[in-house]
Amino acid sequence: MRRIVALTLALLTFAVVAADAKEEVVIGVIGPMSLPEGQAELKAVKLAVEEINAKGGILGKHVKVVWGDTRLKPDDATSEFRRLATMEKADVIIGGFSSGVMLSMMETMAETKTLFLADSSSPACSKKVEENYEKYKYWFRVSQNNGTTFAYDLADMVKFLRSNGYDVKRVYIIRDEHIWTDAVMDNLKPLLKKMGVEIVKDVEVPRGYTEYEQLILDAEDKKADLIMPILAIVGTGDILAKQWATLKPKILLAGSDVLACDDPEFYNKTNGLANYEIFIAHGGVVITAPPTDMCKHFIEAYKAKYGHYPESHLAYGAYDAVYLYKIAVEEAAKKEKDPFDPDVLVKYLEKFNESNPVKLTRVIAFYKNHDLVWGNEYVRNWVCQWQDGKQYIIYPENVANGKLKLPPWFKEEEKKTPGFEALVGIVTLALIAYAVRR
């Protein structure tokens, strides 16, 4: 018994010594810093760290932020990740964006054994965790769901439109020429087929693409009911919205456009032409309907600090990641020798599962492959619509704060006198008969 007590006291002493020996906690942020996504991640982390330091830091230690720029290039991303992990000695790295870049960084993460609370949508990332857990266990998807769930959200969007009187039978898809959309399509195609919906065309467009007018006209020719964008990397969803509203086809614009979701100035940037565009809210947040009290606080604190609302949904994941790390470290400190050990923290983060979620700006829980749990009570891409300058959630009902509105030009029909076509036919026949008699 004495030996057990002595051993317990020794372990507690080691834990205190290990924690006390650490001078500060270093949080790394990595992303494309010339883009809104990377800028939002860095700003959100700095805000969270400022709040945490004001309350005593993590285990009484000051928290420091360091950052690296991926420039959306795998080589740059991996070298910057390595610099943060080795030279800056980051205890955790937060961020990402672009699945191809993320897959490269995961190799450096595995090599350096650095905890990585990440953003990406490709299922290839979590598949690595499934297939080689010991190597890739340090990776957790925090900002948004696995891209396969985007297919569920888009299929639910089609079902919702049908249930609200807008029949969708033919869909014209415009998507990023990028790996992440392949995963979406692999799952979306069978879902739409099962619903009796035909994909009349599937167009892949490169980054910076602007020639949407020809695609919209092509969608009209193919008698599409829906133009479905699946865009993030391309970065020109505002141009698509403007050209759609200018041409006024009787085809709804409804899909997954990260600009329509992320940019609170999207409506103004399109001069109001984004009105009635339907989109899914990446990461499960729109400014008009924060899902938690913490989310509401974050949105207003972000605006107070930076003068504007978050410019990307990645801000919510990055902010959550800092607090998630703090919670895991503080829980580990109660029992573990070294509460900052990444192998230890993996086990504590895995405790946040479907039956034990943590409520931050969103309700966070992880599957065994470290994907975010998807669902109405957790994180999913709500179906939303721009209406008169504001974003509204229109599906599902448990979070909706608005109703579907169709563009006014959908209701514009030629004003014809009842029986006009029949009258024209009679007059035409009469004229023909008169000509024959003459």
Given a contact cutoff of 8 angstroms between Cβ atoms, the answer to whether 95 and 314 are in contact is yes
Q: What is the pLDDT of residue 412?
A: 58
Q: How many CB atoms lie within 10 A of CB 184?
A: 25
Round to whole Å and give the CA distance between 153 and 284: 11
H or E element, residue 349:
helix 342-349
pLDDT (tens digit, 0 to 9) for every residue of the chain, 438 residues total?
Answer: 555 444 444 444 544 455 567 899 999 999 999 999 999 999 999 999 999 999 999 999 999 999 999 999 999 999 999 999 999 999 999 999 988 899 999 999 999 999 999 998 889 999 999 999 999 999 999 999 998 999 999 999 999 999 999 999 999 999 999 888 998 999 999 999 999 999 999 999 999 999 999 999 999 999 999 999 999 989 899 999 999 999 999 999 999 999 999 888 899 999 999 999 999 998 999 888 899 999 999 999 999 999 999 999 999 999 999 999 999 999 999 999 999 999 999 999 999 999 999 999 999 999 999 999 999 999 999 999 999 999 999 999 988 999 999 999 998 543 343 444 444 455 455 555 555 455
| DSSP-assigned beta bridge partners for residue 390 | 387
Contacts 24+ apart (CB under 8 A), 331-335: 333/15, 333/19, 333/59, 335/15
Q: What is the pLDDT of residue 434?
A: 53
Phi–psi pair at 82, nearest 5 degrees: -65, -40
**What letter would DSSP give residue 233?**
S
| DSSP-assigned beta bridge partners for residue 65 | 27
Q: Strands of 225-307 (E only): list them.
A: 226-231, 252-257, 278-281
Round to whole Å and give the CA distance between 282 and 142: 12
Identify the CA nearest to 90 among candidates 112, 60, 123: 112
Q: What is the pLDDT of residue 3?
A: 54
Read off the pTM: 0.84
The C-alpha angle 386, 238, 390, rounded to 5 degrees, equals 20
